[in-house]
Amino acid sequence: MTSDSTRRPSPATLITVAPTGAESEKSAVPALPVTLDELVTAAKDCRACGAAVVHVHIRDGQGRPTLDGTRLADTVQALRAGTDLIVQLSTGGAVSDGFEPRLAVLDALPDACSLTCGTVNFGDEVFANPWPFIRELYARTKELGVVPEFELFDLGHVATLHRLLDDLGEPHGGHVHCDLVMGVPGGMPGNAATLVQAVAALPAGATWSATGIGRTALPVMFAALAAGGHLRVGMEDTVTFAGGRPVTGNTELVQRAAALAELAQRPAMSPEQARAMLGVAGHH
């Protein structure tokens, strides 16, 4: 693994919003955006508060997670029509999703996609990402011109990222961007010491964001800002704003992240700045 001692903090902060996820149910979390209209409205509102990337999971007519190809393509189109956000589709889906439907997500031709670099215990479940699947997914991102964001739930995933880059070369767009997903029960803990270790192991020249699940959201956000990283927030990862107080919507999570980034004197970057940093082509 390469440690990049020359890594400098970016002068601005990329804020990714993950508004929905695959885990929470609308009945338990009424503010969760699950319809296309709710998703586009949330995306527009979060853009106004400082988000530059939207990480998207979609739901079916009953509010259940789905990887339906038509719905995914319609979602990409609607988000592009309604916002200038970078549209990043999840290829992680739900823990119950198979590998073929997860690979087929790329057929919706988003700007970007998530690409998880290893299997991880996920609460009582297993989020399966064996090497052959990771490799095939990465190869397809390169064929189709989709910019991957490498999701790292554990330090072993960083080793797999190095293996992937050694094996297949640089991603479409030419830039490596990672997201440390911390505090998943079964993955790396969401604290400053672990974040520093993970960042030191990233490939030279990579940029990174971090997100802390549940109550690790704030420690991870402060640690990421201190270490020069970027932020991912949203109701996929956090449905409680403070002890006993449910999140009212994605905007308050983005507003809080943008306010902290401003305090850190690294204000939220625009989608245009984010496209330049990540190697994502211009807004369609």
127 contacts ligand KMH (rule: CB under 6 A): yes
Give the span between the Cα atoms of 178 and 84, in whole angstroms. Answer: 21
Binding mask of the shown chain, residues 80 to 99, with x at each position contacting Zn ion by CB under 5 A = ----------x---------
Cβ count within 10 A of residue 58: 24
Q: For Zn ion, give the closer residue by CB, 24 or 77.
A: 24
Residues 65-94 contacting ligand KMH, CB under 6 A = 90-92, 94
Matching residue, tokens 């990714």 = 16
Among 70, 102, 109, smallest CA distance to 87 is for 109
Phi, psi of 235 (to 5 degrees): -75, -10
User: Of the candidates 83, 114, 250, 251, which one interacts with ligand KMH according to CB under 6 A?
Assistant: 114
Q: For Zn ion, give the closer residue by CB, 12 or 14.
A: 14
Binding mask of the shown chain, residues 27 to 56, with x at each position contacting Zn ion by CB under 5 A = ------------------------------
Do 232 and 210 touch, CB atoms closer than 8 A? yes
Chain-centre distance of CA 105, in angstroms? 15
Q: For Zn ion, give the closer residue by CB, 172 or 232.
A: 232
User: Of the candidates 116, 119, 194, 250, which one interacts with ligand KMH according to CB under 6 A?
Assistant: 116
119 contacts ligand KMH (rule: CB under 6 A): no
In this structure, the strands spanning 15-17 and 65-66 are: unpaired
Q: Out of ligand KMH, Zn ion, none, which partner does residue 91 contact, by CB within 5 to 8 A per kind?
A: ligand KMH
End-to-end CA, the chain: 37
Q: Out of ligand KMH, Zn ion, none, which partner does residue 66 contact, by CB within 5 to 8 A per kind?
A: none
Give the span between the Cα atoms of 105 and 22, in whole angstroms. Answer: 15
Chain residues binding ligand KMH by CB under 6 A are 21-22, 90-92, 94-95, 114, 116, 122, 127, 151
